[in-house]
Structure 1
Amino acid sequence: MRRLKMHIALSLDGYASVPGGDLSWITYDEELAQRSRMMTADADMAIFGRVTYKLMQSYWPGVPNDPDSTPGELEHARWISQSTKIAVSTTMTQADADWPETILLGADFAERLREIKRQPGGNIMGFGSPTLVNSCLAAGIVDDLFVNLIPVILGGGNLLFGPQERRGLKLVEAVPTSSGVVALHYHPQ
């Protein structure tokens, strides 16, 4: 059975994104890239909400032709190119989900993901998409939650966890990195 693994960056004051999609606040270095490679090593599917899907679709296909791309970026671009992409949105059409190998899921996404998880194959890896992370946690379908706690206070943006039901998480691992990021791994309870 496939596992659904979600990974997200989080500021110290609880924000997972800022308006406009600016990602410059996120610390990412070779140490964190290595952790990402470990997360994707057993995954053959990537899952995103609408906003993150569009950001990733506009970025990763161009990486192989960018002479400034790092080896880690090139490796991730190859992985994502070969992976089946899942876009979760109630407003996108199949024509909007035109990145090769994309499956579009709508309002019934949780049940469809349960079906996909029962199919043979590698794991499903999500990056970003705070709304999707919350929706998947609420549906009880997340197996692993990875949070990179970034040493920055944003002072505003989109909170990762807004008002919701209380939910327990079991800490699996907490790794402080040389850049000051704390890489956290939880299992939802």
Structure 2
Amino acid sequence: MPRCGYDHFKTSKERKGVSMFCAWGCRWSSSVVLFLLHVLLTLSPLHAIPTTFSVRVVGVIDGDTITVLLDGKEEKVRLYGIDCPEDGQAFGRRAKQFTSDKTFGRDVVIKPRDKDPYGRIVAEVFLSDNTLLNEALISAGLAWWYQRYAPRGENLRDLERQARKEKIAIWSQPDPVPPWEYRQNQVEARSNKKLKRRSIGGGR
């Protein structure tokens, strides 16, 4: 018996009548959750997406990006509304360790908000005690409020202000560089390096 729950018919005529059904029931059943998530994120307005998913965290890429197991497939999840320092920045590794300590090997609940250009699910991530990881990172002084992508994140803004006031972690530095500026500086530095090499090599 196939996974669709129905017997396949023996004659070609009968097979033709159910082939489309079985294409969904047999070949794609393991991807139903991912398909529905894609539809929700691409076709529905954000305020109309009530869906949450309980998933297991199987990897931590950096402070604001984790890898989860969703319907048997690994998916990258980018934390909504925040931006943690990069690995090459002060407190970048500490932010990653914070997220790892809270999530790695554990079940969390994700509430999708969007999908980014890299195909990652952008989401709020709730820990087992219902703590919102996005907010916890900002309160710990290990993330900026990413106003560009969460302009209405008043709570994130207020938590950042409090962390700044108390000079926690990144805010203990005299002039911390936001990660989006750091990334842009890295891109420009690599571009300048390429131009310099071409100049030395005679444009070859």
**TM-score of the two chains, using structure 1 as the length reference:** 0.25
Task: Tell me which of the two structures has the higher relative contact order, counting C-alpha pairs closer than 8 angstroms and 6 or more residues apart.
Answer: 1
Structure showing greater radius of gyration is 2
